[in-house]
A and B are shown apart, each in its own frame.
Chain A
Amino acid sequence: MNAFTTSRKVSCATCGSAWDDSLPAGLCARCLLAFALEAEPGSDAGSATGPADLVDTGARIEQIVGRYHLLGEIDRGGVGVVYRAWQADLNREVALKMLLPGRLETRDALDRFRREAELMASLDHPGILPVYEVGAHAGLPYFSMKLAESGNLAQRIPTLQGQFRECARLVALVARAIGHAHGHGVLHRDLKPSNIVFDAADQPLVTDFGLARRLAVDSSLTGIDAVIGTPRYVAPEVLTTAGRDLTAAADIYGLGAILYELLCGHAPFAELSPLQILQQIPTRRPHPPRHFDASIPAALEAICLRCLEKRPADRYPSADALATALDAWLAGTRPGIFARLRDTQLALPSRRRRAGLAAIMLLLVGLVAAGAWWVTREPIPLPDPAVATRTVAVLPSALQMATPFEREAARQMAAHLHLSTPLRLLPFDATLATVTSKQVPVSDNDVDTALGAFILVEVAALPGDPRVAVMAVDDLREERLYEATFALSDMNSVAHKLADALKQRRQKPTAEARLSRSALAQLWHAIGWLRNPGEGTNAMAIAALKDVITKAPDSALAHAWLAYAYNSHGGEVFWLDSAIDEAARAQRMDPSLGLAPRQLGLAYSRKYWFSRAMAAHEQSLALGSRWVDAELGLLYYITGRFEQSYRAYVDDQRFALGYQWDQVAVAGVLFTVGENYAGERTMRMVMAQEPDPMLRKLHEAEIAFYLHNFARCSELAGSINPETSDEFFIASSMVQICAVEQGDFAAALMTMDATKRAYANAHGSPNGNNPALLEAILLARLNRNEKVPALLKEARQSLQAAIDSNNESPAVWLRMAAVQRLGGEVDVAYTTLDHAFALGLTVNNRNRSDLEFLPFQGDPRFAVLRAKSEAYVAAQRKKIAVLLPAELREPVTDQPLAGAAKPSPAAFRHHEL
């Protein structure tokens, strides 16, 4: 229709009320009502309003607007009308958008329309529909844009089905455009397929910035918006915050919803009514796209679901990061950043210990666990779970790093078992080929999946020991079936005993054997997603596990894996409590499940309930979990049990691939108790195998620190870049500590900002290491006291919250004691400090110059406590010393070290910095 056959009026000329387009032309509803009431239409109604708020209500739209001849209406939305128009002077067709006449009620509405035009005009990007001109005609604002002639993305969805690469390409282009908008401080807020149009060259262009606003600028306009975008594409936080305080993450959600629709053919939550969406979007997760179409690539699904994460922080950090992930997928690689950022299972919570070894240990745990395998490995197809639960694989426990001796021992064990095992045994050569392949390396994290065997018989050689260790585990349940350390000559009898143990498993099948095939497959998928976060998200796993539990409420294994999923879900107390519930339930249902107490322990340690965490982990270790040693090692370390920590880390090396991070941890323990020679030797072994020059430099700095070469430590650590790397936080903390060691408190203070920034970069939150307290301590030391009370107040607040939650971290109590001591509450401070020592605080070789001790320096009471603690650490050192191989205790020279696992002298020189 031609919109201009009749002229449009904004409001009734008689009474001034807003025009109703649905009534026949010339009729005003209000006047007619007044007429029926037999009252004269109120001619004074308009005077009730401030005339300043009214625009020219007599404006009529002609067929010529400015330089444009209107040719017809293209689209009509909630905000305005878009016309096709002819621009005579440039001889081109354009799109012209005008505010809907009926909306011209206030200046405010006008301002908003102009704002949209200005926002769009301020964005110059090939992926954003360009605005040509902004103007006004007879009081009506308008703007002209490029005419998108090839329709919009919503119209193309049917033809894009199955065109996964094209879908990814389009969304990547749109994401780049949105990234540009975000870079200019503009948030779109209403991304959906119909707002992506195509130009004549078929390039996608983002349009309709009608709901857009400037990030953190338009505070004057942030009323509650009645319109919040379109429910199926709207981020959950938009609903929960009524559109306030939105960030770029809201648009990333929109981009994810678009990708979802392109992949599945329908928007997320298509199965729900709009109202259900509004109610459930904050908690309910969309079906994974592969639920609808199994041919959708898992990696693409993972990218999509990450955009749709409920918590903004869990989505891609920027639209450009999303585009990069999509481009990487298109280029045939896996989205590295995705996998890397997600694995939280092995790393403890974000509030890591400030600086030093504990943090480095944790850091490396995180890095190695997440980083080792995602780079090159293709997704492993899932084997049949029903078969895998009854299949045994014999393998050398060190996998790719196995020595020929270990391989041979494993081969012999397999040969013996072949004759006697009642279960399905995988051919040894095939197993060996899989686990030692350099091209497609598997880690012990997913070796069972890769092999299609849940029962693993791991054979390990002990360093410096002619004997062999064997352990049979049900890897899914983390249940030890058999364990022995034996001389090779006893291989035959050990194999018989092992076969007997496996026979019991056959005679007494686990509860999982009773699961239906579909439930088992679901459980299996969920486990796959949890272990390989690139394959599927945590949320998908949680949904699948809940489904399994609905089908089989008595499946302890499903409950335990659900606890695992909750533990990996972000570390918030809510999830941890859920994990504790599920793990405790699983433990009650099946006390032989090692996974359950391990998850219980993980959740407890994340709540900083260390004593309970240790008890649970010890229980899990006794049942046969392969994964507890390193976690226990850390807990023991934090609570001052250095000998136990050392033993746990050394034990962990026996049946885990984790030589490297365990060795860093061992070095840490050794340095902490003052075994500096052994510490340095261990650390240099790590460095010889460390490919990353930045980490090598960090280790070198650490060695310098323990050897009291603070200037060198400071220099090395100070050269670590970039600021966004995880390592930068540790490095800048080291620089700070070195300054303190050298008595240069002013220099230490100067590093505060960098440390704070680094911590925020590494952990996503600025306050974990309580920078307020550290700053207060330094300022007090420098006699610059004016800011100290405020900083102490801030520090106390966050510490009090931790203490109120029964936090058992000695560091937290030490910090509180420091706050109290600095605030002059001396007696209270020492009571708190006593508690910190009771929880396992020590004054040791690593932490003795930590800033938190500074307020106590010079107190006789502290001297006593310190001496006592140092005596304890010395006793621990003695206990560890007797466990150390003699050659480790020698000072490091250029001479080569004995032992197969030791680096060559050439490697040493090469890595010397």
Chain B
Amino acid sequence: MVIQDVRPRASAAFPETSWGLVLATRDDAGNGRDAFADLCRRYWMPVYAMVRRHGLAPADAEDLVQGFFLHLIEHGTVGRADPALGRFRSFLLGALRWFLANEYERDTALKRGGHSTFVPIDRAEVESSLQFNAESEESLDLQFDRQWARALVRNALDALRAEYAKSAQAQLYATLQSCLDPAVVTPSYADLATRLACNEGAVKVAVHRLRGRFRAVLRREVALTVATAQEVDEELAYLRDVLAASLLPASAS
């Protein structure tokens, strides 16, 4: 097996667009709408988890999230959430809070949604991964942010896998994926080399490239959700800390 160069073709710097721009360019003809819908779809999970934490059953939560996103995609905003400012995460949370707190008309939501459904991933899979903490007294916002952080990482991994697949490297990605985390090397490079039928050095290079690519994709993903390039690091650090907070006993937060 030959390991190809999968270095990014485009710059990994701040993307040409951000969520605010995507939202602003959305028009009735459908331009930009798909891009925004795609962005929303990628953060379906934290929203869904938040709704579930409000005590709704899976199917019901799904309906509500569906209505929420369709409303958002159609109108560009929900309630007083201001798309002109801040991070996509905060915006979505504010909009969701408003939506949860106000009368939710299922009928109109269905009307808006027509026949399309907005359920991007297998809910069963989500459910099983949802660490649904019944007794936790920590704030719902914190839990939302935690789910957000995980969704962000997942999105980046998905994007990365898609990139590799596009260049016929799906098998390589699948094999090396577990090496993404530099702190963990399991299995060993030697094992991987055996599996990939190449030498250990080639594996090291591939892993290094993979990590570099992942970092770029992740940062791009973050960049899409904030307003300025400077905020990328802030957001990354914040989300890292939020996940660290999951170590704390419930009462400590």
Binding site for B on A (CB under 8 A): 11, 13-18, 20-39, 41-42, 45-46, 48-50, 53, 76, 78-79, 100, 102-103, 105-106, 108-109, 112, 210-211, 221, 223-232, 234, 272-276, 278-279
Q: In the docked arrangement, what's the CA distance between A352 and B157, Å?
A: 73
CB of A45 within 8 A of CB of B244, answer: yes
Q: Is the CB of B215 within 8 A of A103?
A: no
- Counting CB contacts under 8 A, is B162 at the interface? no
Q: Does B1 contact A (CB under 8 A)?
A: no
* 9 smallest beta-carbon distances between A and B, as pairs: A22-B129, A274-B60, A30-B243, A273-B106, A227-B134, A21-B129, A102-B131, A26-B178, A29-B153
B47 CB to nearest A CB, Å: 14
Residues of B within 8 A of A (CB): 45, 53-57, 60-61, 63-64, 67, 100, 103-106, 109, 125-129, 131-137, 140, 149-150, 152-154, 156-157, 177-178, 180-184, 186, 211, 214-215, 218-219, 222, 233, 236-237, 239-240, 243-244, 246-252
Which listed residue, A20, A26, A211, touches B184 by the CB 8 Å rule?
A: A26
Contacts of B67 in A (CB 8 A): 273
Given contacts A35-B215, A227-B134, A231-B55, contact A272 B106 (CB under 8 A): yes
29 examples of A-B residue contacts, CB within 8 angstroms: A16-B247, A21-B129, A22-B129, A23-B154, A26-B184, A27-B180, A29-B150, A32-B156, A32-B214, A32-B218, A35-B182, A35-B214, A46-B247, A50-B249, A53-B249, A102-B131, A103-B131, A105-B133, A223-B137, A224-B137, A226-B133, A226-B137, A226-B140, A232-B57, A273-B105, A274-B63, A274-B64, A275-B56, A276-B104
B103 partner residues in chain A, CB cutoff 8 A: 275-276, 279
Q: Given A24-B157, A226-B53, do A37 and B247 touch, yes or no (CB 8 Å)?
A: no
A648–B127 alpha-carbon span in the complex (Å)? 69
Contacts A78-B134, A106-B250, A230-B55 known; list 14 others, CB within 8 Å: A22-B154, A29-B153, A33-B239, A33-B243, A35-B183, A37-B236, A48-B247, A105-B133, A223-B135, A228-B55, A231-B57, A234-B55, A275-B54, A278-B54
Of all chain A residues, which has the CB nearest B137? A223
A325 CB to nearest B CB, Å:
29
Nearest-CB distance from B64 to chain A (Å)? 6
* Contact in complex: A18, B106 (CB < 8 Å): no
Bound complex: CA of A79 vs CA of B211, how far in Å?
Answer: 35
Which residues of the partner chain B approach A100 to less than 8 Å between Cβ atoms? Answer: 131
Whether the Cβ atoms of B128 and A225 lie closer than 8 Å is no
Measured in the bound complex, the distance between the Cα atoms of B55 and A661 in whole Å is: 52
Write the chain B residue with the least CB distance to A33.
B240
User: Complex Cα distance A46/B248, Å?
Assistant: 8
A36-B236, A273-B60 known; A27 and B243 CB under 8 Å? no
User: Contacts A36-B214, A48-B248; is A230 near B181 (CB within 8 Å)?
Assistant: no
The distance in angstroms between the C-alpha atoms of A211 and B55, with both chains bound, is 13
User: A28 and B149 in contact (CB under 8 A), knowing A223-B135, A273-B106?
Assistant: no
Q: How many A-B residue pairs have CB under 8 A?
A: 192
CB-based contact A49/B64 at 8 Å: no
- Interchain CA distance A382-B30 in the complex, whole Å: 58
Bound complex: CA A79 to CA B131 (Å): 9
Tell whether A79 pairs with B134 under 8 Å between CB atoms, given A22-B150, A33-B240, A105-B249. Answer: yes
Contact A32 B153 (CB under 8 A): yes
Report which of B109, B219, B237, B246 forms a contact with A105, defined as CB distance below 8 A: B246
* Most chain B CB within a 10 A radius of its CB, from A18, A41, A42: A18
Q: Is A34 within 8 A of B240, CB to CB? A: yes
- Point out the residues of chain A lying under 8 angstroms from B127, CB to CB: 76
B residues near A36, Cβ cutoff 8 Å: 214-215, 218-219, 222, 236
**Residues on the B chain within 8 Å of A210, using CB:** 134
Contact residue among B53, B128, B182, B249 (Cβ-Cβ distance under 8 Å from A106): B249
Please give, as numbers and ranges, the residues of chain A lying within 8 Å of B184 by CB-CB distance: 13-14, 26, 28, 31
Query: Using Cβ atoms and an 8 Å threshold, which residues of chain B touch A24?
Result: 157, 177-178
A46 to B243, CA, bound (A): 12
Whether B183 and A41, one on each chain, are in contact in the complex, defined by CB atoms closer than 8 angstroms, is yes
Q: Report how far A105 CA is from B178 CA in the complex, Å.
A: 25
A20-B129 in contact given A42-B244, A273-B104 (Cβ < 8 Å) = yes
Across the interface, do B181 and A14 meet the contact criterion of CB distance under 8 Å? yes
Contact A105 B250 (CB under 8 A): yes
Closest chain-A Cβ to B136's Cβ sits at a distance in Å of: 6
Contact A108 B247 (CB under 8 A): no
Shortest distance between the CB of B215 and any CB in chain A (Å): 5
Known contacts being A25-B178, A27-B180, A28-B181, is A20 close to B150, with CB within 8 Å?
yes
Q: Please name all residues of chain B whose beta carbon is closer than 8 Å to the beta carbon of A45 when the two chains form the complex.
A: 244, 247
The distance from the CB of B68 to the nearest CB of chain A, in whole angstroms, is: 10
B177 to chain A, nearest CB (A): 5
A207 vs chain B, min Cβ distance (A):
17
A2 to chain B, nearest CB (A): 14
Give the residue name and chain of the B residue nearest to A280 (CB): B103
Residues of A within 8 A of B135 (CB): 108-109, 112, 221, 223, 225-226
Cβ–Cβ contact A26 & B104, under 8 A? no
When chains A and B are docked, how far (Å) is the Cα of A159 from the Cα of B57? 23
In the complex, the answer to whether B181 meets A31 with C-beta atoms within 8 Å is yes
Query: B153, A33: Cβ atoms under 8 Å?
Result: yes
Check if B183 sits within 8 Å of A31, measured CB to CB. Answer: yes
Q: Which of A31, A38, A100, A272 has the largest count of B CB atoms less than 10 A from its CB?
A: A31
Q: Which of B54, B64, B127, B186 neighbours the largest number of chain A CB atoms within 10 Å of its CB?
A: B54
Least CB distance from B21 to A in Å reads 22
With known contacts A33-B218, A223-B135, A230-B57, A17–B247 Cβ distance under 8 A: yes
- Evaluate contact between A38 and B215: CB separation under 8 angstroms: yes
With contacts A35-B211, A35-B215 taken as known, whether A49 is within 8 angstroms of B150 at the C-beta atoms is: no
Provide the bound-state CA to CA distance between A13 and B128, in Å.
21
Q: Closest chain A residue to B236 by CB distance?
A: A37
A26 and B181 contacting across the interface, CB-CB below 8 Å: yes
Bound-state Cα–Cα, A834 to B196, Å: 104
Q: Beyond A18-B131, A35-B182, A103-B133, is A278–B55 a contact (Cβ under 8 Å)?
A: yes
Q: Could you say which of B53, B126, B128, B181 contacts A32, with CB atoms under 8 Å apart?
A: B181
Asked whether B177 lies within 8 Å of A30 as measured between CB atoms, the reply is no
Q: Contacts A27-B178, A32-B218; is A226 near B134 (CB within 8 Å)?
A: yes
Q: Is the CB of A22 within 8 A of B126?
A: yes
Q: Which residues of A contact B240 (CB under 8 A)?
A: 30, 33-34, 37, 39, 42
CB <8 Å contact, A78 and B64:
no
What separation, in Å, do the CA atoms of A42 and B244 have in the docked complex? 9
Q: Which residues of B contact A50 (CB under 8 A)?
A: 249, 252
Chain A's closest residue to B186 (CB) is A26
Contacts of A53 in B (CB 8 A): 249
User: Which A residue sits closest to B132, measured CB to CB?
Assistant: A78
A281 to chain B, nearest CB (A): 11
| Contact residues in A for B211 (Cβ distance below 8 Å) | 35
Chain B residues within 8 Å of A16, by CB: 247
Determine the chain B residues whose CB is within 8 A of the CB of A79 once the complex forms. 134
| Cross-chain contact A15 with B244 (CB below 8 angstroms) | yes
- Given the known inter-chain contacts A29-B153, A273-B63, please indicate yes or no for A225 contacting B214, CB distance below 8 A: no
- Given that A32-B153, A32-B214, A76-B128 are known contacts, is A226 also in contact with B182, CB under 8 Å in the complex? no
